[in-house]
Structure 1
Amino acid sequence: MNQAVERPAPRVPSREEQAQGWRAPGQDAGWLNPIHERFLLRLLVKKELRVRYRGSVLGMVWSYVKPAVQFVVFYIALGIFLQLSRDTPAYAVYLFSGIVVINLFGEVFGNATRSITGNGALVAKIYLPSQLFPWASMIVALVHFLPQLVVLIVGALLFGWLPSVTAAIAFVLGMVILVVFTMGLGMLTAALNAAFRDVENFVDLIVMVATWLSPVLYRISMVEQAIGGTIWWWLYQLNPLTIVVELFHVAFWRYGPEVVEAVPSDPTLSMPGEPYGLWWAGLLIAGVTFALGTIVFERSKRRFAQEL
């Protein structure tokens, strides 16, 4: 009679080996994977960049083309035709500082959502910490964000803006809120998209709507005039993208010489925390969103291979 051959159980690393970073097969460091697996993360980022520009003639120049076209279209349609630039000094800087925020949000959110399904061959065939895929997408988006940031800084300097401590703090706060909030959303939708492919289509709609539901193209004082004193006004102010866009306005537009002389403070910037507005609410919402996205992703990741 044939006897079943007993396979030895996987060896569990000793305490000394665990202290040196050894782990049993199939185990990982959870949400700390991007820190523990930095080498793999770098490889994934390089792969994403190579795949993105394979066969492309312009390459990284596309990082300039898309925001440039957006800026020109919005500036002509809103700044000139609807004359929003008449009441907003340095409207070009105001507009572009909001565009770079929405572009970074859209790229991180969209890429992170598709990061698991887009790397389905790797996820299904070999073991890699799943958290690395959305984080690699986020880093690639930051690489594309840097050229836009350089253009924004140069444009602000041309309008007389000068760097300051206030501008630096506002920029750092805005970046932290934006990245943490968007990564939380991205990990949540990445987990859902692995099971339901319709999720990525909803993400595209959210990005489109976000452009108009945050003060990118218009002044927030116009929103206060329309819905001030209602629950919708408070919800609008608590939108993390509204908070981030206003922080970028503080960083690159608010303290330009033309603006200081002609424009009073926007309503959200007169809140506690002036001149940084509702930054504390933005950090709180971003932290909760990140925690929720991480929990859902962690509980879903073991089903990714089967769902793909």
Structure 2
Amino acid sequence: MSTDAERPVVVAGAPEEELPPLVPAAANSGLLEVFRQRYLLRLLVKSTVQSRYQGTFLGWFWSYLQPFIRFLMFYFVFQVLIGRGGNMENFAIHLVAGLVVVHFFTETFNGGTKSLVSNRGLIIKLPVPRELFPVATMLVSLYHSVPMVIIMVVASSILGWSPDPAGLLAALLGFAIIAVLGLSLALIFSVANVYFRDFGKVTQTLTQFTTFSVPMIYPFSMVEERFDKIPWVADVYLLNPVAEAVLLVQRGFWIGTNSDPEAAAAEHLPPDLWSRGVIMLVICLALLVLAQLWFSKLERRVPERL
């Protein structure tokens, strides 16, 4: 049985038997097939990274310079001018830990939403699983988050941080939540963006709120203090997976730079941080399954829509 993707394009006056199909259909599709074809994934990630810095004088050094300048701007505005950090110890690490997570999420979400439209030439010509493009976007975003992580590790070490297993596990859990959540949303919105380009604008609008909806330029304890008479607000706040991931990464790095880590964790982190993090990862994995089903349902008509 032929699918819409296999139906030939009909051109007036041309013999139908000489026309090629619109796109060759891949024998298998889905996220599992993407990782079976890891060589294609590696090629796509490598070419995307190289194209970003092609023709630039500083090349990959921009990966360090841009996040460092972004961090300086946030730090100057919110710490120096506004004094948002207050009496928090090592507010700079608190801030950069949030920046790393927010950057990883927004790059994955925004780039993943546009990934199918941006790669229309490859999708039409090659029989590859179309999930390849959102996955590659997530990996490219992770790759470009590495310089920010290095900056955070170096700055934390200067301020007295030393690796501890619980903290590193917390940070890994936070990054896992963002990777799964970002990929899930990229799958959902990338195929929707093929049908209606408005979804690309929707993602840009949504990600503008991310910076202010996570405990980055302010501590989580401030949310509890401002809404102490209605404590359920803090619980609703923590339903945001990105906020949970930020807190986990702060547990991994910022807490260890404090002179009294236990007191800082008790004051600025929720007591059930670990259980919430594990539950959030499970929810994000369930969302990834639903996103794959949604993508599989709509991706057959992607070539003709492009």
Which range, TM-score by smaller chain? 0.7 to 0.9
Partner of 1:71: 71
Partner of 1:190: 190
The 10-residue stretch of structure 1 (123-132 or 217-226) with the greater mean CA deviation from structure 2: 123-132
Determine helix, strand or coil for the equivalent of 2:161. Answer: coil
Matched, 1:245 2:243: no
Trace 1:113-262 onto structure 2 (pairs within 5 A). Answer: 113-228=113-228, 229-260=230-261
Partner of 1:86: 86
8 A contact 1:109–1:182 mirrored in 2: yes
Matched, 1:295 2:293: yes
Report the AA paired with residue 62 of structure 1.
Answer: W
* Count of residue pairs the alignment pairs up: 284
Q: How far apart, in 2, do the equivalents of 1:132 and 1:61 lie?
A: 27
Determine helix, strand or coil for the equivalent of 1:86. Answer: coil
Partner of 1:285: 283
Shift of 1:140: 1.2
Partner of 2:54: 54
Instruction: Specify whether residues 262 and 298 from structure 1 end up closer, same or farther in structure 2 by C-alpha distance, changes over 3 A only.
Output: same
Shift of 1:230: 4.8
Instruction: Specify whether residues 73 and 239 from structure 1 end up closer, same or farther in structure 2 by C-alpha distance, changes over 3 A only.
Output: same
8 A contact 1:90–1:259 mirrored in 2: no
Report the AA paired with residue 133 of structure 2.
Answer: F
Determine helix, strand or coil for the equivalent of 1:87. Answer: coil
Q: How far apart, in 2, do the equivalents of 1:264 and 1:128 lie?
A: 47
8 A contact 2:105–2:178 mirrored in 1: yes
Report the AA paired with residue 121 of structure 1.
Answer: G
Shift of 1:31: 2.2
Determine helix, strand or coil for the equivalent of 2:100. Answer: helix
8 A contact 2:241–2:280 mirrored in 1: yes
- 1:20-48 Cα offsets, whole Å, 9 max, x none, are xxxx9632142212211111111111221
Partner of 2:109: 109
8 A contact 1:254–1:260 mirrored in 2: yes
Shift of 1:259: 4.8
Instruction: Specify whether residues 150 and 185 from structure 1 end up closer, same or farther in structure 2 by C-alpha distance, changes over 3 A only.
Output: same
8 A contact 1:177–1:286 mirrored in 2: yes
Instruction: Specify whether residues 33 and 86 from structure 1 end up closer, same or farther in structure 2 by C-alpha distance, changes over 3 A only.
Output: same
- 1:184-241 Cα offsets, whole Å, 9 max, x none, are 0111110111111111111111111011001111101111122343543222111101
Shift of 1:155: 0.5
Shift of 1:78: 1.0
Shift of 1:57: 2.0
- 1:149-181 Cα offsets, whole Å, 9 max, x none, are 111100100110110111111011111111011
Q: How high is the sequence identity, in percent, across the aligned residues?
A: 30
- Unaligned segments of structure 2, at least 5 residues: 1-16, 18-23
Report the AA paired with residue 105 of structure 2.
Answer: F
TM-score of the superposition, structure 1-length normalised? 0.86
TM-score of the superposition, structure 2-length normalised? 0.87
Q: How far apart, in 1, do the equivalents of 2:245 and 2:133 lie?
A: 25
Determine helix, strand or coil for the equivalent of 1:85. Answer: coil
8 A contact 2:100–2:145 mirrored in 1: yes
- Unaligned segments of structure 1, at least 5 residues: 1-5, 7-23
